[in-house]
């Protein structure tokens, strides 16, 4: 189906499916994590993961919560400070935590991925990041250099001058750059001022250093955005030609995110305008040769993400889509989430609490969940729909020891409605997401979510989730 066919007559569907819902970076989602889950539960799952006949490879995620200034739209777990000594002190705790994890994972398990996220990972300088990488290298087992994916989220305002080159010397081969919008007026309204030239420069340096994938993050629905202004931002993004683009929907939830109260609601684009901006974006990016991967992500056809989508090996984790084999993820740092064996566990979200656990020699796990059989089956459905866009029933049934149509008989009415709207196609053998349905993956996944309630769908007074579109 061509981009035009996908987008033709889409508006009524966008209105119909513009509801509140999870992003499904995990299932169950973080709202279902329980305080009763503690370090003993985490370690039980680590041991079980080592004992599998073929243990999964490992991925380490490091959360750096610090930022130099506050972007008003931001809902991340971050600490805005200029005190560089806070970062130096945090580094000591990260090292301690990495050391503790490494004592419980079998030494021959391959580390395949290291990812720094935040906050602002580049709040740390290259020497500090090197210190973390050296500790990981000493404690974990790496394969060939080419098999290690090393990614970092970059705030262009923090890597001026030599700083970016020093960063590249550390061996990062995947970078994502936070742009949000190139329009100076929008940048003022969100308190994130950065010039296009520095981004062009960073991308040129990254390409010269053979970085395998450069991703740009942009956001639609921000204050003072108009169709025209965002089209100009898209012009620049398309001209810069990153390998991947993440096009996020701004979720305005000032009741839950205090910094968003600094955004004037009257300056936000109206619902119609926002929808038009979204449609323009999908249209223009696909016309420019990008493939829509799903869940906000676009990639050039030769990028590994697009190749993985086409050959069915795409994965999804807390950092979005990934091309790595299914890994056990070790989350390090304040608020970081681990996914090990059949469990999710989250570190303390307050820095003082995080440090308190480690000062007592404990893992900083503050909540989590051990997956029930039903969680694993539903999570499997959601994962397959989001990554490969289809479920072959015979394979799924064999993998989970169920009969799909019987297990999900209550969900079949919902699937039929999605099929009527042309978002999925279902027959005796499979359930498939259509090209058009890729734009509505969150809505499709919600059909299989046992924890999602009707009141979540429309509760705009106290929403637990962001809007799906
Ligand atoms: S968007 Fe990034 S840099 Fe801005 S406040 Fe949030 S985490 Fe910090």
As a whole-number percent, the residues of the chain with pLDDT over 70 amount to 94
Q: Which atom of ligand 1 is nearest to the CA of 73?
A: 1
What mean pLDDT is predicted for residues 304-323? Answer: 81
* pLDDT digit string, tens, across residues 146-162: 778 999 999 999 998 88
Query: Which of the four pLDDT bands, split at 50, 70 and 90, describes residue 164?
Result: very high
117 lines ligand 1 (CB under 6 A): no
Cis, bond preceding 154 (omega within 30 deg of 0): no
Predicted pLDDT of residue 376: 96
* pLDDT digit string, tens, across residues 14-42: 788 877 788 888 899 999 999 999 999 99
Token code pair at residue 163: 């700083």
Residue nearest to atom 7 of ligand 1 (CA): 119
Tokens 């960073």, located at residue: 202
CATH 1.10.10.920 is held by the domain 372-460:
yes
389 lines ligand 1 (CB under 6 A): no
Listed residue (292, 281, 310, 318) closest to 77, CA to CA: 318
Phi then psi dihedrals of residue 286, to 5 deg: -70, -40
- Listed in order, strand segments (DSSP E) in 255-413 are 291-294, 297-299, 315-317, 320-322, 328-332, 337-340, 343-347, 365-370, 390-392
* Topology of the domain covering 31-330: pyruvate-formate lyase- activating enzyme (3.80.30)
Q: Of the residues 64, 117, 120, 180, which should be mutated to test ligand 1's pocket, given the most ligand atoms within 8 Å of the CB? A: 120
Q: What is the pTM of this model?
A: 0.91
What mean pLDDT is predicted for residues 369-386? Answer: 95
Predicted pLDDT of residue 453: 73
- Other CB atoms within a 10 A radius of the CB of residue 210 amount to 8
Q: How far is CA 346 from the centre of its chain?
A: 15
What mean pLDDT is predicted for residues 33-55? Answer: 97
| Helices (H), ranges, 109-246 | 126-139, 163-168, 184-190, 196-208, 227-240
Domain ranges of the chain: 31-330, 372-460
Taking the centre of ligand 1 as the mean of its atom positions, its distance from the CA of residue 205, in whole angstroms, is 23
d(CA 175, CA 26): 23
d(CA 219, CA 247): 6
Query: Which of the four pLDDT bands, split at 50, 70 and 90, describes residue 10?
Result: confident
User: CA gyration radius for the chain?
Assistant: 22
118 lines ligand 1 (CB under 6 A): yes
Q: Which atom of ligand 1 is nearest to the CA of 153?
A: 2
Query: Which of the four pLDDT bands, split at 50, 70 and 90, describes residue 13?
Result: confident
* pLDDT digit string, tens, across residues 65-124: 999 999 999 988 899 998 888 899 999 999 999 999 999 999 999 999 999 999 999 999
Residue nearest to atom 6 of ligand 1 (CA): 74
148 lines ligand 1 (CB under 6 A): no
Token code pair at residue 21: 């819902």
Q: 79 and 351 in contact (C-beta within 8 Å)?
A: yes
């Amino acid at each position: 189906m061509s981009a035009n066919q996908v987008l033709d007559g889409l508006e009524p569907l966008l209105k119909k499916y513009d509801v509140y819902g999870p992003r499904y970076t995990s299932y169950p989602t973080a709202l279902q994590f329980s305080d009763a889950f503690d370090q003993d539960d985490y370690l039980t799952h680590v041991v079980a993961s080592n004992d599998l006949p073929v243990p999964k490879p490992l991925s380490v995620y490091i959360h750096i919560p610090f930022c130099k200034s506050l972007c008003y739209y931001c809902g991340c777990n971050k600490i805005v400070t200029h005190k560089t000594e806070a970062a130096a002190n945090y580094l000591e705790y990260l090292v301690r935590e990495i050391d503790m994890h490494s004592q419980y994972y079998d030494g021959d398990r391959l580390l395949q991925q290291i990812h720094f996220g935040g906050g602002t990972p580049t709040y740390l300088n290259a020497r500090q990041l090197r210190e973390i990488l050296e500790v990981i290298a000493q404690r974990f087992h790496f394969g060939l250099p080419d098999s290690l994916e090393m990614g970092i989220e970059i705030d262009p305002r923090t890597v001026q001058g030599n700083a970016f080159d020093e960063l590249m010397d550390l061996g990062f081969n995947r970078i994502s750059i936070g742009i949000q919008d190139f329009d100076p007026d929008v940048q003022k309204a969100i308190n994130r001022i950065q010039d296009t030239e520095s981004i062009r420069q960073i991308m040129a340096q990254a390409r010269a250093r053979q970085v395998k994938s450069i991703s740009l993050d942009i956001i639609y629905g921000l204050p003072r955005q108009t169709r025209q202004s965002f089209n100009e931002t898209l012009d620049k993004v398309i001209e810069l030609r990153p390998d991947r683009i993440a096009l996020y929907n701004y979720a305005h939830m000032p009741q839950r995110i205090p910094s968003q109260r600094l955004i004037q609601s009257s300056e936000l684009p109206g619902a119609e305008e926002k929808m038009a901006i979204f449609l323009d974006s999908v249209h223009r990016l696909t016309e420019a040769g990008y493939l829509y991967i799903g869940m906000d992500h676009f990639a050039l056809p030769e990028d590994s993400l697009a190749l993985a989508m086409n050959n069915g090996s795409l994965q999804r984790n807390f950092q979005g889509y990934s091309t790595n084999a299914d890994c056990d993820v070790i989350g390090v740092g304040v608020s970081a989430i681990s996914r090990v064996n059949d469990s999710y566990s989250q570190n303390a979200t307050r820095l003082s609490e995080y440090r308190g656990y480690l000062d007592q020699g404990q893992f900083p796990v503050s909540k989590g969940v051990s997956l029930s059989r039903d969680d694993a089956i539903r999570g499997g459905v959601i994962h397959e729909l989001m990554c490969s866009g289809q479920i072959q029933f015979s394979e799924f049934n064999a993998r989970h020891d169920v009969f799909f149509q019987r297990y999900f008989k209550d969900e079949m009415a919902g699937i039929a409605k999605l099929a009527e709207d042309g978002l999925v196609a279902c027959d005796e053998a499979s359930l498939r997401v259509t090209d058009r349905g890729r734009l509505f993956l969150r809505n499709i996944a919600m059909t299989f979510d046992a924890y999602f309630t009707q009141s979540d769908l429309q509760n705009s007074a106290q929403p637990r989730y962001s809007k799906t579109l």
